[in-house]
Structure 1
């Protein structure tokens, strides 16, 4: 029993000695200070390369260029703080049968009456007296004035607007001329009322345009009734978007093999060209024509009702010309057939927004379809036969362009120029505001220098347009401003980054930075741990040495 215990003790001592020897043998040799220093320098050099060389190169090569934009000024334009649209219209008054003092006094009283009636500060009518003896220079007067009033003596107050010139004749009884001491005058009130009614439609349209923008409340006009706003909204929806050039396509479609020719060029020159020439300062027009035989409409019924009007055009088979050169196309179709429109002449409300007449209807923002009934043996459509279709096309073209419905043709066209100027100015200002808000909402989107140049040009032309409102120059500057604003907003390099979220960037960088970043970070952490261990051991040795 004693021998067994002695043997166990000897085995235990042998095992303990063996384990101690193995542990002592597995311990690595202590590192030399030079090796520790070299490893530390290698890790530090790698991090210095990453921080001092890699990161700057990455930052320079991946930074998105953002040109500096005048965001505050752009928002000022969008909210109406940079420009208050005011249309000063000069009204020339010819009073050759009145003495100079009487005419001046009548103009003063009429101006007071106009100012009292005007509830929209953005539309100013300013009267000026024409010098006597200017009857032979009416054309020059019309070029510099929005309207010319000719005061003519007569039996009773009456007014007549010339259909083909911007001249308003007003007759007055000689005894209605106010004296120098008069503070009011029935004649002055009558003239002011006629002027107000003449420009009422223009004022309503401009008021509606301002009311649909983001202008501040003090800029918005007051007094536009809901009925008038609804009517103007329908007209705005029907009209084409402004373009410097429109392409007019005249198409003759017939269900059979004849007629096979038509005098459309001569008819356009005779019945439509005069209006196109007058519209030249506002729009340019290109024209093409075509004939299509055996063209069947989408609706085969003899009598067309409201629902048939929107689907009459067979867009799948009829070769309607597309937009040419980027210009919007206005389609004018004359269809030869025995179909009729089954609408009363007074019913002008089609469910699809088309306006129907006895032989034609206008399709909003598209064009006109005219049903032209002809004998079956007709082989050629003459100029006389095309007279009524061309007159209808001309009237509908003016409606599609947004021309006012009341007044003489020159007055309506000058009003159209001012309306288009206001519309383009407001649209360009709104686009600037949208661009500014986009830049603030997406800090990572690039802004090329071309966008900044476009914004600068837009604001410069907007200022010129605002300063010249009411003149032909305003339309040119507003048109350039709108084009530059649209070009800046739809810059290709910007649009391509609108749908590039940050998650996509993380997905791109992680596969590249993972294999490089993990060894660098882990090496730095291990080196920090080793440094802390060496420091702790050094402190313990120093403390033990101090204790001994």
Structure 2
């Protein structure tokens, strides 16, 4: 009886426990109450409001404040200039021939036969000489006349066996002396006098041709395939000595600048000399040269005196040479002569490069001071300046350097300045060398500005994220305009005008390439922008995107439910 009661109680307990489980299960599976339509619409409006603010307000503000302005550039024209397709520099040099003692027909015949001989001798078609009688006015009066590169004056002289020539040192005039028997008859094809004049002209312009050929061959715009008239072919025909001299001069000369700063410094290891007539010396020996250079570059002049300017501790001390009774510096030690750590030599004053000229007066105990072997008292520091050692005439140290004391030093400085500015070594006539330098600078500046245009075009295409301000577009337009004008002036032989346009083109090209706003963006890649935006937009964007996705899913589910029902 007790067993039955226990079974009944156990059965009731299990039944009650089962009913409780079913009740709990039924309660946990009960769906939530449906949302009210007003709550759904409110949530949708809130999410839509956030996205509306982002799309119609935030995104336009972000786009406007972060957009990069890129002015339109004539990229094809810039590339064509860099590749040499727009302009190939040519140098037609006009040479005026004066024949005061020859009749007109004979003078014309002499000029014509000389021109034929010059054309046969010429191996570089980009640089050619054009002879013209001084009384020939065949030029277009509406066109600006070409520059006269040289004037050849034929002078009659009785007591000559062979013709001779003489180049005037202060002008660009070549005097050719001949006898009446050397005047070619009208029937002659290649008279000796024509051959002589052509040979003299060819020799005068040999170095200029070689320098221009070197400049053209080094430029990618003109480095075309070698032909019989190419710059490379011209360079292969010159002598090794001339080629080495030109290469050495190009290594020594400074890069072209619109303005150079000349710094003349007096250094002495003691207290004397403490003063010098620098203004008189500069005015007499330097200013005329600078005025002659004014069409090519501008110059400013600074001076200073530095006392107790000793050698650098690491510089080798001068050695005494008993044979020459002088203190000597080894040629290999000249590079350590300048004590750059203690001597106040500014590397640059203003926007242009500085050319330093040092006048060093050694102390009496180490005088005279010269360079070993050559016994030279001056040397050129490539692309930097020049040094002159001024040894007093007597053993007593000078307290003051007069203009006469400075004459030799400043004449040397003037020659060093010509070397540093890239003037050719021959011929000796300074006006002739300056005209040659004008043509050389016009060619180098035209090629440099063209190359800069190509570099700028490739830069803007390879980096689409950098800005291009309107000032760059203006500078590019200025550069291309003046390049076109410079090329036209070169073609017509107006080299002074070509140089003026080339200077403007080079300045505008450099200004456009080194624009500050562009240079700053060149080193700001897109990865940096992502790194800046992610920490700011991540916490805001994730909830908005997730909420939008949920609403889209609910809308899709509701539409499917309506379709099923």
TM-score (norm 2): 0.86
Match of 2:141 in 1: none
- Local SS of the residue matching 2:403: coil
Determine which of 141, 145, 148 is the counterpart of 2:148. 145
Match of 1:121 among 119, 125, 129: 125
Partner of 2:461: 440
Aligned to 2:372: 343
Of 558, 562, 565, the match for 1:534: 558
| Deviation per residue, 1:86-119 (Å, 9 max, x gap) | 1221100011222211111111121122222222
Contact 2:275 2:305 in 1 (8 A): yes
2:511 and 2:535 mapped to 1: Cα distance?
Answer: 38
RMSD over aligned Cα atoms: 2.4
Equivalent residue number for residue 315 of structure 1 = 340
Q: 1:382 corresponds to which residue?
A: 402
Q: Does 1:326 align with 2:343?
A: no
Report the Cα offset of residue 392 of structure 1: 0.8
Equivalent residue number for residue 431 of structure 1: 452
Unpaired segments ≥5 residues, structure 1: 133-141, 346-356, 543-548
Distance 2:496 2:183 in 1: 35
Is contact 2:217–2:223 with CA below 8 Å preserved after alignment? no
Answer whether contact 1:246 1:329 (CA < 8 A) is retained. Answer: yes
Per-residue deviation at 1:491? 0.9
Partner of 1:398: 418
Rounded Cα–Cα distance in structure 2 between residues aligned with 1:324 and 1:440 = 36
In structure 1, the partner of 2:323 is none
Give the secondary structure class of the aligned counterpart of 1:528: helix
Q: Contact (CA 8 Å) 1:305, 1:341: kept in 2 or not?
A: no
Taking structure 1 as the reference length, the TM-score comes to 0.89
The offset of 1:34, in angstroms, is: 4.5
With over 3 angstroms needed to count, the CA separation of the structure-2 counterparts of 1:216 and 1:395, relative to structure 1, is closer
Cα distance in structure 1, aligned partners of 2:499 and 2:282: 27
Structure 1 position 191 matched with structure 2 position 216: no
Q: In the alignment, does 2:56 pair up with 1:52?
A: yes
1:4 and 1:460 map into 2 onto residues whose CA distance is: 113
What is the rounded CA distance, in whole Å, between the counterparts of 2:292 and 2:353 in structure 1? 20
The yes-or-no answer on 1:98 pairing with 2:102 is yes
TM-superposition CA deviations, 1:329-381 (whole Å, max 9, x none): 22221211125334333xxxxxxxxxxx6111111122111111112243222
User: Following TM superposition, by how much is the alpha carbon of 1:462 offset from its aligned partner in structure 2, in angstroms?
Assistant: 1.2
Which of 273-282 and 87-96 deviates more?
A: 273-282
- The equivalences for 1:282-321 within 5 A come to 282-298=296-312, 299=315, 300-302=317-319, 303-321=328-346
Partner residue, 1:221: 231
2:442–2:495 Cα contact (<8 Å) kept: no
Name the residue aligned to 1:261.
Answer: 275
Tell me the distance in 1 between the aligned counterparts of 2:456 and 2:58. 34
1:143 Cα deviation after fit: 9.8
DSSP-derived class of the 1:258 partner = coil
User: How far did 1:157 drift?
Assistant: 2.2
**Distance in 1 between residues matched to 2:554 and 2:467, nearest whole Å:** 46
The match for 1:160 is 166
Between the aligned partners of 2:32 and 2:335, the Cα distance in structure 1 is: 92
Q: CA deviation at 1:237?
A: 2.3
Q: Which residue of 2 aligns with 1:233?
A: 247
Of residues 405-414 and 246-255 in structure 1, the stretch that sits farther from structure 2 once superposed is: 246-255
**Which of 360, 370, 377 is matched with 2:378 structurally?**
360
In structure 2, distance between residues paired with 1:513 and 1:292? 63
Match of 1:354 in 2: none
More moved, 370-379 vs 97-106: 370-379
Aligned length: 520
- The C-alpha deviation readout for 1:271-301, integer Å capped at 9, x for no partner, is 3333233223323333233322222122432
